[in-house]
């Protein structure tokens, strides 16, 4: 089994037991920890896993050629792998792949408006039933905020909206807000309800735009909260506040300066903007090939050095930065539980392979935030450094006042 030397190098904590396609058991053990047993059903995996493990493991699980033994879940397996994966890049074959990947990255992240629409449709224009079965009732599809550990997903997502609003200084009447990447409308509706601000939401997903518009109409606030099928680069308004949650990961590194310059043009002189994005501590990298192929084509989670290098080329100033560390891992844990509770209903809409793909996506993402160098950054931006108070007291005051 050609992948055996790689697994011996990789496993420094816990025990991975592999039953190969010939039925032979191989054990790879490190320091005491969890034990997981997998079974390979295709002999080609003996060498494919060595050449491109980040892609092949997910594909093999989707196809059923990699299965779990002893009632273990894909989450158990990826948790074990996540505790050890930082050693993967020490392998000579993987080093060559990583060197090559840095040269093809610009092609992977080329993101003109037409391609951006296609990439969004690939993920967000799926069945409405799917998102209702694993998200909270407000369909918040980004990192929740667990201000207390025992909060439900719904409570934590509501706390996230409140936490974002606290940084937007919404205490003046008549404010206008632009929501870039407005999803199913939950944040925009919340901001209007809590502050009276008029909200313009932008999305590239037809399904999201239709759903969010219907929500606003049912609430009778369509004159104050409107959602448009529009790329941010096409917007021509001027706004007091701009917020973007979970959208920057789809912009692409070569478009970061373009994004921030557009935000600068859309923002009033005394305005405030807030960027909420997945980020990484470990420096510039590439998107996991399985995730890029099956879940988020064109997606990339930036390093903070890439974000601030782009900001430095604009007139925007970063007034406040906060890191949400394990909040997304806990969010994904809730999403995985919801998905498993409704798995048969998802299977009725799609099929078994889709269910395995989604399980791998959610469990793998949780492992990335729990064990690897992923977190969420909230960056408050403005054209003027005096656009926000000099201390964070106003954030605490807003959250307390709106906690009910």
pLDDT (tens digit, 9 = 90+) per residue, 13-47?
A: 999 999 999 999 999 998 999 999 999 999 999 99
Tell me the pLDDT band of 109, cut-offs 50, 70 and 90: low
Quote the CA–CA distance of 281 and 79 in Å, as a whole number: 19
Q: What percent of the chain has pLDDT over 90?
A: 77
Task: Indicate whether 122 pLDDT > 90.
Answer: no
| Residues 182-217: tens digit of each pLDDT | 999 999 999 999 999 999 999 999 999 999 999 999
pLDDT at 192: 98
Question: Looking at residue 95, what is its pLDDT?
Answer: 55
Q: How far apart, in whole angstroms, are the C-alpha atoms of residue 345 and residue 149?
A: 29
Residue 169 near residue 394 (C-beta atoms within 8 A): yes
**For 36-59, what is the mean pLDDT?**
94
What pLDDT score was predicted for residue 129? 85
Average pLDDT over the chain, rounded to an integer: 91
On the question of pLDDT at 91 being above 80, the answer is: no
The H or E element spanning position 188 is helix 186-195
CA distances from 274 to 131, 144, 167, 225, 237 (A): 25, 16, 7, 19, 17
Q: Which stretch of 40-44, 187-191, 227-231, 279-283 has the lowest confidence by average pLDDT?
A: 279-283
Banded model confidence at residue 162, pLDDT cuts 50, 70, 90? very high
d(CA 379, CA 279): 11
Mean pLDDT comparison of 89-98, 290-299, 306-315, highest-scoring range:
306-315
Measure CA 115 to chain center: 19
Q: pLDDT grade, residue 149 (50/70/90)?
A: confident
Alpha-carbon separation of residue 306 from 98, 155, 302 (angstroms) = 18, 33, 6
Overall average pLDDT of the 305-326 stretch? 97
Please give the full DSSP string across 148-162, using - where no structure is assigned: STT--HHHHHHHHHH
Alpha helices for 196-287 (secondary structure H) = 206-219, 256-266
Confidence of residue 56 (pLDDT cuts 50, 70, 90): very high
Alpha-helical segments (H) within 204-351:
206-219, 256-266, 289-294, 304-311, 327-341, 343-349
What integer pLDDT is reported at residue 282 of this predicted model?
85
pLDDT of residue 202: 98
Question: What would the mean pLDDT of 364-370 be, rounded to a whole number?
Answer: 95
Q: Which domains does the chain have, with CATH numbers?
A: 4-108 (no CATH), 113-401 (3.40.50.150)
Three-state secondary-structure class, residue 65: coil
Mean pLDDT in residue range 152-165: 98
pLDDT tier at 52, thresholds 50, 70, 90? confident
- Low-confidence winner among 58-72, 84-98, 162-176, 329-343 (lowest mean pLDDT): 84-98
Q: How far apart are CA 187 and CA 96, in angstroms?
A: 43
Phi-psi region of 345 (alpha: psi -120 to 50; beta: other; left: phi over 0): alpha
Q: At 92, is the pLDDT very low, low, confident or very high (cuts 50, 70, 90)?
A: low
For residue 242, give the nearest of 262, 228, 218 by alpha carbon.
Answer: 262
Q: Which two tokens stand for residue 204?
A: 């590239």
Separation between Cα atoms, residue 36 and residue 328, nearest integer Å: 24
Q: How confident is the model at residue 283 (pLDDT cuts 50, 70, 90)?
A: confident
pLDDT of 376 over the 80 cut: yes
State the Cα–Cα distance between residues 113 and 39, nearest whole angstrom: 43
pLDDT at 108 over 70: no
| Average pLDDT rounded to a whole number, residues 119-140 | 79
* In the chain, % of residues over pLDDT 70: 90
Residue 139 has pLDDT above 90, yes or no: yes
Give the whole-angstrom CA distance, residue 29 versus residue 367. 20
């Amino acid at each position: 089994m050609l992948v055996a030397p790689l697994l011996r190098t990789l496993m420094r904590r816990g025990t991975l037991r592999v039953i190969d396609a010939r039925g032979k058991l191989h054990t790879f053990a490190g320091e005491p920890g969890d034990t997981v047993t997998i079974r390979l059903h295709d002999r080609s995996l003996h060498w494919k896993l060595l050449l491109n493990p980040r892609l092949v493991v997910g594909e093999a699980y989707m196809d059923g050629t990699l299965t779990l033994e002893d009632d273990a879940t894909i989450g158990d397996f990826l948790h074990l792998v996540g505790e050890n994966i930082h050693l993967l890049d020490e392998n000579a074959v993987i080093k060559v792949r990583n060197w090559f990947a840095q040269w093809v990255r610009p092609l992977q992240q080329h993101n003109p408006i037409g391609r951006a629409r296609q990439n969004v449709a690939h993920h967000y224009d799926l069945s409405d039933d799917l998102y209702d079965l694993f998200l909270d009732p407000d369909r918040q599809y980004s990192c929740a905020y667990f201000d207390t550990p025992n909060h439900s997903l719904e409570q934590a997502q509501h706390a996230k909206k409140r936490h974002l609003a606290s940084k937007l200084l919404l205490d003046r009447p008549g404010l206008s807000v632009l929501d870039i990447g407005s999803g199913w409308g939950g944040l925009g509706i919340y901001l209007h309800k809590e502050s009276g601000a008029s909200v313009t939401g932008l999305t590239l997903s037809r399904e999201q735009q239709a759903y969010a518009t219907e929500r606003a109409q049912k609430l009778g606030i369509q004159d104050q909260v409107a959602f448009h099928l529009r790329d941010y680069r096409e917007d021509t308004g001027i706004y007091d506040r701009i917020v973007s949650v979970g959208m920057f990961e789809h912009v692409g590194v070569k478009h970061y300066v373009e994004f921030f310059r557009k935000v600068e043009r859309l923002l009033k002189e005394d305005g405030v903007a807030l960027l909420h994005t997945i980020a990484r501590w470990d420096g510039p990298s590439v998107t996991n090939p399985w995730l890029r192929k099956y879940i988020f084509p064109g997606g990339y989670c930036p390093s903070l050095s890439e974000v601030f290098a782009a900001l430095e080329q604009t007139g925007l100033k970063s007034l406040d930065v906060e890191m949400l560390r394990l909040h997304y891992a806990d969010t994904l844990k809730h999403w995985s539980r919801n998905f498993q509770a409704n798995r048969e209903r998802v299977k009725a809409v799609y099929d078994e392979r889709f269910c395995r793909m989604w399980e791998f996506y959610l469990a793998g993402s949780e492992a990335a935030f729990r064990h690897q160098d992923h977190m969420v950054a909230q960056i408050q931006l403005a054209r003027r450094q005096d656009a926000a108070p000099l201390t964070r007291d106003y954030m605490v005051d807003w959250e307390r006042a709106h906690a009910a």
